């Protein structure tokens, strides 16, 4: 099997040369037969700009077909792809440039970047419409169809973690990591060349890049791409697709649209959710509205996908993330790394061919999370049931210790989400002079349906005293990162002086 994942993709697409590969704004951009030439022109352009095997190429722009061509061209050249969020400030980008040390920064003309001359990095532009100096250069060159031979452990990409608890760390993902993971997902989710994926996820993130895009390329499944999530455009696009992937916020937004229902989903065989916890209330409302049970899975930047609920709808259970993917080993351990019995909450460790090679130029950070026995400390807590199904309890750093008792936010969040009118919920700890930490909750609501007294009664009836939130704050919206995850560190900071001065 080819080790360079680009060669792997192209080899699997050869029998589908006439099939549309990328569709953008309802227009076919290229077929699978034409894709190598598009990629080859961008590869030739990268070579003109000085990119060679092993170099880092950083990209800071929005999703587009040209983004896809550039990504594949970087990997075909044996270089290392470093995607970043186009919304980052120039100062944030400068930190990542200092860390990754790229030879080339590809950016949109409107995104914030450090001033030219502030570093030694070459620049090229790539705009959301696909235009820019990189595309212009590629258009003048003959395609370079060569693909560098790579080993399984050669680096393909460096993806920086979100950095919500400190400076971002660059997860080093290899060609072997990416190839093994897309193969496992292809098997677990029953993908084929008959599929059409409606893709509205950002390509700078592992979910959009290594899951949605890779599955399309590996399966020779047409990718109908949107620049970003737009509920009306997604609803219109579902009639032309068989698979949709999103973050929980996407599904909440779809449910808010009165035009969304069974008719819109008639051709869809699979809805997949990830990158943040999916509330059981959203899972239930979606099934009631559409007849579909959303398939929730679990992954991280460092590992791509780790677990998945079963493909069969009856096997999908709200609030759980399913079973380890083929070839992946997951265990629940105590503080001294002893494996815990069924039902007991502990830290989640994993090992497998999808685990990244460590953190870029961060030896101590790698040593803290990557154990000599091959297991990785995920930083998440959870438990297994007697069938091996995994439920996430929360991040280790989100554990609240109140009066000496452990409080797991996910348990309380799932309960509060049951209250009519609650749209989303976050539970977190803040300093308290008597208990060490106090449990705090915040919710966003449909104010016409939400009754605070109903929530308070549920809290009193269902939660032990030490688990009960000392306050519930009703917010207009939550602070979130680009993938929709609630930024609990910002909530903790906002309310940290609620009980102490």
pLDDT band per the 50, 70, 90 thresholds, residue 420: very high
Residue 260 has what pLDDT? 95
295 bridge partner residues: 272
Smallest CA-to-CA distance from 409 within 422, 393, 396, 431 is with 393
Half-sphere exposure of 44 (CA within 13 A, CB side): 17
Residue 291 has pLDDT above 70, yes or no: yes
Q: Sort 313 into a burial class: Cβ within 10 Å, 0-12 / 13-18 / 19+.
A: middle
The predicted model scores a pTM of 0.88
pLDDT digits (tens, 9 = 90+) for 110-123: 999 999 888 889 99
Element (H, E) at 29: strand 27-31
Residues, the chain, total?
A: 501
pLDDT digits (tens, 9 = 90+) for 433-470: 778 889 999 999 998 999 999 999 999 988 888 899 99
pLDDT band per the 50, 70, 90 thresholds, residue 398: confident
DSSP class of residue 338 equals P
Residue 164 has what pLDDT? 45
- 3-state class (DSSP) for residue 47: helix
**Tokens 């890779």 correspond to what residue?**
214
CB atoms within 10 A of CB 350: 25
User: What average pLDDT does the segment 144-151 reach?
Assistant: 97
Residue 410 has what pLDDT? 84
| Residue percentage of the chain with pLDDT more than 90 | 83
pLDDT digits (tens, 9 = 90+) for 88-107: 889 889 999 999 999 999 99
Residue 1 has what pLDDT? 65
Q: Sort 434 into a burial class: Cβ within 10 Å, 0-12 / 13-18 / 19+.
A: exposed
Tell me the C-alpha distance between 357 and 174, whole Å: 7
- 3-state class (DSSP) for residue 81: strand
Residues 6+ apart with CB under 8 A from 270: 189, 190, 242, 243, 244, 295, 311
**Residue 148 structure tokens:** 């560098």
User: What average pLDDT does the segment 335-359 reach?
Assistant: 97
For 146-200, what is the HEC assignment?
CCCCCCCCCEEEEEECCCCCCCCCEEEEEHHHHHHHHHHHHHHCCCCCCCEEEEC
CB distance 177 to 358 below 8 Å: no
Tell me the C-alpha distance between 360 and 365, whole Å: 9
User: What average pLDDT does the segment 377-405 reach?
Assistant: 90
Residue 195 has what pLDDT? 98
Residue 92 has what pLDDT? 87
**What are the sequence ranges of the domains in the chain?**
5-16+28-178, 406-494
pLDDT band per the 50, 70, 90 thresholds, residue 54: very high
Smallest CA-to-CA distance from 177 within 11, 357, 368, 323 is with 357
pLDDT band per the 50, 70, 90 thresholds, residue 395: confident
CB distance 473 to 488 below 8 Å: no
Residue 484 has what pLDDT? 79
- Is 5-16+28-178 a CATH 3.30.390.30 domain? no
User: What average pLDDT does the segment 120-135 reach?
Assistant: 96
For 406-494, which CATH class? alpha beta
Residue 440 has what pLDDT? 95
Smallest CA-to-CA distance from 182 within 296, 326, 321 is with 326
Tell me the C-alpha distance between 397 and 395, whole Å: 5
Residue 330 has what pLDDT? 98
User: What average pLDDT does the segment 420-437 reach?
Assistant: 89
Residue 166 has what pLDDT? 59
pLDDT digits (tens, 9 = 90+) for 162-196: 654 457 899 999 999 999 999 999 999 999 999 99
**Residue 111 structure tokens:** 């995104």
Residue 63 has what pLDDT? 97
């Amino acid at each position: 099997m080819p080790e360079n994942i680009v060669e792997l993709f192209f080899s699997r697409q050869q029998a589908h040369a006439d099939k549309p590969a990328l569709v953008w704004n309802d227009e076919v951009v290229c077929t699978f037969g034409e894709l190598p030439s598009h990629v080859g022109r961008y590869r030739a352009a990268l070579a003109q700009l000085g990119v060679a095997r092993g170099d880092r190429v950083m990209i800071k722009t929005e999703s587009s077909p040209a983004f896809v061509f550039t990504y594949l061209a970087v990997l075909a050249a044996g270089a290392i792809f470093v995607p970043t969020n186009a919304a980052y400030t120039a100062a944030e980008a400068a930190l990542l440039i200092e860390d990754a040390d790229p030879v080339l920064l590809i950016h949109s003309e409107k995104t914030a970047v450090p001033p030219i001359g502030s570093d030694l990095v070459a620049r090229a532009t790539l705009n959301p419409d696909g235009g820019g100096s990189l595309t212009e250069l590629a258009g003048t060159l003959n395609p370079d169809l060569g693909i560098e031979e790579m080993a399984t452990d050669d680096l393909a990409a460096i993806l920086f973690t979100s950095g919500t608890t400190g400076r971002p760390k660059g997860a080093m993902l290899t060609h072997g990591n990416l190839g093994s993971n897309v193969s496992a997902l292809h098997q677990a989710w029953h993908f084929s060349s008959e599929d059409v994926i409606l893709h509205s996820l950002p390509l700078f993130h592992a979910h959009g890049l290594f899951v949605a895009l890779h599955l399309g390329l590996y399966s020779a499944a047409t990718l109908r791409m949107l620049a970003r999530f737009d509920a009306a455009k997604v609803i219109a696009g579902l009639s032309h697709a068989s698979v949709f992937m999103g973050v929980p916020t996407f599904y909440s937004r779809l449910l808010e649209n009165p035009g969304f229902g069974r008719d819109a989903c008639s051709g869809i065989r699979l809805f997949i959710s990830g990158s943040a916890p999916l509330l059981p209330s959203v899972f239930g409302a979606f099934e009631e509205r559409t007849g579909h049970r959303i398939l929730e899975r679990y992954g991280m930047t460092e590992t791509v996908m780790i677990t998945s609920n079963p493909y069969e709808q009856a096997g999908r259970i709200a609030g759980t993330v399913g079973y380890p993917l083929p070839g992946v080993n997951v265990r629940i351990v105590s503080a001294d790394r002893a494996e815990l019995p069924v039902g007991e909450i502990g830290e989640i460790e994993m090992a497998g061919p999808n685990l990244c090679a460590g953190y870029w130029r961060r030896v101590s950070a790698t040593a803290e999370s990557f154990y000599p026995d091959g297991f990785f400390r995920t930083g998440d807590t959870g438990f297994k049931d007697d069938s091996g199904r995994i439920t996430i309890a929360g991040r280790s750093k989100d554990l609240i210790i109140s009066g000496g008792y452990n409080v797991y936010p996910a348990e309380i969040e799932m309960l509060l989400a049951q209250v009519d009118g609650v749209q989303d919920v976050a539970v977190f700890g803040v300093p308290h002079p008597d208990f060490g930490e106090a449990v705090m909750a915040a919710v966003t609501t449909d104010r016409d349906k939400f009754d605070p007294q109903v929530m308070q009664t549920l809290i009193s009836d269902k939660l032990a005293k030490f688990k009960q939130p000392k306050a519930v704050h009703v917010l207009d919206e939550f602070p979130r990162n680009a993938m929709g995850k609630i930024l609990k560190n910002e909530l903790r900071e906002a309310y940290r002086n609620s009980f102490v001065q």
